[in-house]
Structure 1
Amino acid sequence: MSGGGPGVPLLGVEEEFFLVDPATGRIRPRAAEVVAAARAAGHGGAVSGEFTLYQVETRTPPCAGLSRLRAELAAARRAAGAAARAHGLRLCASGTPVLGRVDPAAVADHPRYRAGTAQYRGMMADFALCAQHVHVHCPDADEALLVGNHLRPWLPLLVALGANSPYDQGRDTGYASWRSVVRLRFPCLGPPPYAASAAGAGRTARLIADAEAMLDASLPFWDVRPNPRLPTVEVRCLDVVPKLDDAVALAALVRGLVRVSMRAVRAGDVGPPVAAEEVRAAYWKAARDGPAATGIDLLAGRRRPGAELLEGLLEHVGEALSETGELDLVRAGLSGVVRGGRGAGAAAQRAAAAGPGGLKGAVRWLVEATERVPDGGGDGLG
């Protein structure tokens, strides 16, 4: 596995996981103990809490190449998994909880989390979601904002490729990414608005905050944003995925997209002004149907099969991925996701749930796939 090189921006990944009881498959609100165990083992920088006590988050440092990224992701998963097992629990990479009811009282004790619960009220009652966030180095916040314009038409396909949340609290939602649907109901989550300028984006954020539909105008949570605390473009539309190599392939794809978009912005292109309603409709279809079905090509303005959408995306980022030696890796990994032949995400959860174990079987598959990480870094995909 290769990647990185002169002029290639660093990237980092955050992954969120549910804590589940291996006997029942249900989520358990034990994040405080698990994070404390990780900290005591010397992994406090890699493992932290999240919005609910059912979740932990892992993070990598900035990485140049994919071999390093894979090693860091594996190490973080091992650290979090060991801390969970110390308390009789396991890590589960699913965008929504397969089994177990979400208790609104199980929100972590953080001022921002308490404020969000007070502001959004009943909308937060089942807000327990796990994502993969990809950060790509971009120190110019204005440039990062315009990069988001270029990413907007491709976000629905990313949603489909990462779709891994068909079940929620014991029920089949009928969707591939229920996590995306939950996020779409909030006025300040999901695809970002088109930003013709930094001033215009700031005005939009302030108005949304004045309407009390956003906590803080300086801290937006759109699915693409200039991170307010880090010099990165942050892409937040992906469900967490159970297989380590899928996480790596998705991160490489996102970096390729950001690199192509950076080049366009630097050439004076502020991005295609696709209507917000069109982007949200394409999001919804991607979240419902996943990567193997037809989706919406927002640039062409028509429906296309999922395989054609992926080929169009790979053609769009092909030069950037070829420069880092990542094109074949991404093509092989994500073509398998679209075909469904490798049992990726939502399709694999449903296949596991169709067995004699039912939804507990789906959780068992998720846990095994999540914790199947190498002892060392490794240079290849396996």
Structure 2
Amino acid sequence: MTSHGQTPAVRAGSASATGHGTPAAGRRRRPLTMGAEEEYLLVDPVTRELRPEAPKVVAGAAAELGARVTTEITCYQVEARTDPHTSLAAFAEQVRAMRGAVVRAAARHGLGVVSSGTPVLPQPHPLAVTDGPRYARSVAMFGALDDEQTICACHLHIGVPDVDLALQVSNHLRGRLPQLIALAANSPYWQGRDTGYASWRTLAWARWPAAGPPPHFDSTAHFDALVEDLTATGTIMDRGGLYWDIRPSHHVPTLEIRAFDATPAAADTVLLAAVTRALVATALADIEAGRPAFRPPSGLLRTACWRAARDGLTGDAVDLRTRRLRPAVTLVERMLEELRPALLHHGDLDAVTAGWARLRAVGTGAERQRAAHRGRDRPVDVVDALMRSVDADERPA
């Protein structure tokens, strides 16, 4: 989950790549960098149950990926990261190659790989936790919260050169979180049963003390004071324990968007990355123009995120501006239309148009998981479908 704040060797974005130190207008004219962290689960391809073999798989995948592949809090999870990219095509190619490297490394140990926000079958108990003082400290500090950390996410990093600007962009993006959660929903099952939610991971993650939609920050001083309070009160271990759905990176110049379930296929990650970059670019343009961030009430925003996690794209969603229900698909399409200038600027409009059409046709990850289950009413069929899609060469049609 990179949720426990381990510092990766490589993260998306760099001062040179994001134009650190250049005027705001110059930054907006340059393509923004983007990078991804993806988390995968290891399974036995016969029983389809989780297998605690991550250290072996990471060691094998490192032959291709180097420091871009690591372990996570449990021994059932592998995390891999891309480099920063300005080209969506190059980003997409690296995501596919990265997944392939992990799948090949797992196969050498007789294992399968799935990319899902939650495991489909019941997880082992007690969990096999990865060795390390930070993980041990987390287990001691947070207790049963760590018992559910077989959940997996996709984290996207967009290059933003400083914390002050990143916090302003975060303020502008908060109201978009319900649409992002719905787009990425890929975790309907937990402990072998359908939860009734499209993204159960979102609900499980919300239990953490500094998780969910971030606050609206009035200034960098406001952010720093809150982090100091959370640390001083033992709410988080350190700044790496800020698990908000949007947060400024604490060691590289990026804004990290963390609202996404792990995606079933590389094409899903590519669509999310292009949309997220356009959201950040649009926010930067609004900030430069002096347009204030839309500030929905925190309680209503939380409600909208809950509704998005429950229904994904299949039902109604909370329109935060009108405070009424509208079809979730309608709200996403309105968002994409508003992002059109930024998508054109980055050359991503055709890819997003095709990716959105593909998603409408095949359904979100949650819809695909449920479709696999409907065939024979067997959870193992869902695991098999996820194993087939994790490194499938799926490009937007």
TM range (shorter): over 0.9
Percent identity, aligned pairs only?
Answer: 41
**Residues 102 and 212 of structure 1, relative CA distance in 2, 3 Å threshold:** farther
CA RMSD of the aligned region, Å? Answer: 1.9
CA contact (8 A) 2:156 2:256 kept: yes
User: What letter matches 1:381 in structure 2?
Assistant: P
Aligned match of 2:35: 12
Pairwise CA distance, 1:335: 4.3
Pairwise CA distance, 1:136: 0.6
CA contact (8 A) 1:192 1:224 kept: yes
1:348 equivalent in alignment to 2:368: yes
**Residues 104 and 201 of structure 1, relative CA distance in 2, 3 Å threshold:** farther
1:55 equivalent in alignment to 2:69: no
Aligned match of 1:142: 164
Aligned match of 1:324: 346
Choose the corresponding residue for 2:60, options 21, 33, 37. 37
Aligned match of 2:110: 88
**Residues 276 and 187 of structure 1, relative CA distance in 2, 3 Å threshold:** farther
Aligned match of 2:51: 28
The one-character-per-residue Cα deviations of 1:180-209 (angstroms, maximum 9, x if unpaired) are: 000112220111111111111222222223
The one-character-per-residue Cα deviations of 1:117-146 (angstroms, maximum 9, x if unpaired) are: 111112222221111111111111110011
2:277 alignment partner, SS class: helix
1:65 equivalent in alignment to 2:80: no
The one-character-per-residue Cα deviations of 1:211-248 (angstroms, maximum 9, x if unpaired) are: 32222146522111111111101101000111211110
1:381 equivalent in alignment to 2:396: yes
The one-character-per-residue Cα deviations of 1:59-88 (angstroms, maximum 9, x if unpaired) are: 110111111001110111111111110111
Alignment of 1:165-180 (within 5 A): 165-180=187-202
Aligned match of 1:231: 253
2:244 alignment partner, SS class: coil
Pairwise CA distance, 1:343: 3.6
1:78 equivalent in alignment to 2:100: yes
Aligned match of 1:364: 384
Pairwise CA distance, 1:323: 1.8
**Residues 218 and 364 of structure 1, relative CA distance in 2, 3 Å threshold:** closer
Choose the corresponding residue for 1:268, options 272, 286, 290. 290
User: What letter matches 2:183 in structure 1?
Assistant: L
Aligned match of 1:97: 119
Alignment of 1:331-342 (within 5 A): 331-337=353-359, 339=360, 341-342=361-362
Pairwise CA distance, 1:174: 0.9
1:254 alignment partner, SS class: helix
**Structure 2, gaps ≥5 residues long:** 1-17, 19-27
1:243 equivalent in alignment to 2:269: no
Aligned match of 1:377: none
Following the alignment from structure 2 to structure 1, what is the Cα–Cα distance between the partners of residues 60 and 238? 32
Aligned match of 2:229: 207
1:125 alignment partner, SS class: helix
Greater CA drift, 280-289 or 109-118: 109-118
**Residues 6 and 365 of structure 1, relative CA distance in 2, 3 Å threshold:** same
Aligned match of 1:197: 219
Pairwise CA distance, 1:314: 0.8
CA contact (8 A) 2:313 2:364 kept: no
Following the alignment from structure 1 to structure 2, what is the Cα–Cα distance between the partners of residues 369 and 224? 27
Following the alignment from structure 2 to structure 1, what is the Cα–Cα distance between the partners of residues 126 and 287? 42
Tell me the number of residue pairs that the alignment of Structure 1 and Structure 2 aligns: 371
Aligned match of 1:277: 299
User: What letter matches 2:210 in structure 1?
Assistant: C
**Residues 148 and 104 of structure 1, relative CA distance in 2, 3 Å threshold:** farther
Aligned match of 2:8: none
Pairwise CA distance, 1:108: 1.5
When normalised by structure 2's length, the TM-score is 0.89
The one-character-per-residue Cα deviations of 1:362-382 (angstroms, maximum 9, x if unpaired) are: 0000110112138xxxxx635
Following the alignment from structure 1 to structure 2, what is the Cα–Cα distance between the partners of residues 37 and 321? 37
Pairwise CA distance, 1:173: 0.9
The one-character-per-residue Cα deviations of 1:332-366 (angstroms, maximum 9, x if unpaired) are: 322443x4x31430011011011226110000001
When normalised by structure 1's length, the TM-score is 0.92
2:148 alignment partner, SS class: coil
2:156 alignment partner, SS class: strand
Following the alignment from structure 2 to structure 1, what is the Cα–Cα distance between the partners of residues 164 and 137? 28
CA contact (8 A) 1:104 1:124 kept: no
The one-character-per-residue Cα deviations of 1:288-311 (angstroms, maximum 9, x if unpaired) are: 111121111223322211121012
Following the alignment from structure 2 to structure 1, what is the Cα–Cα distance between the partners of residues 268 and 149? 25
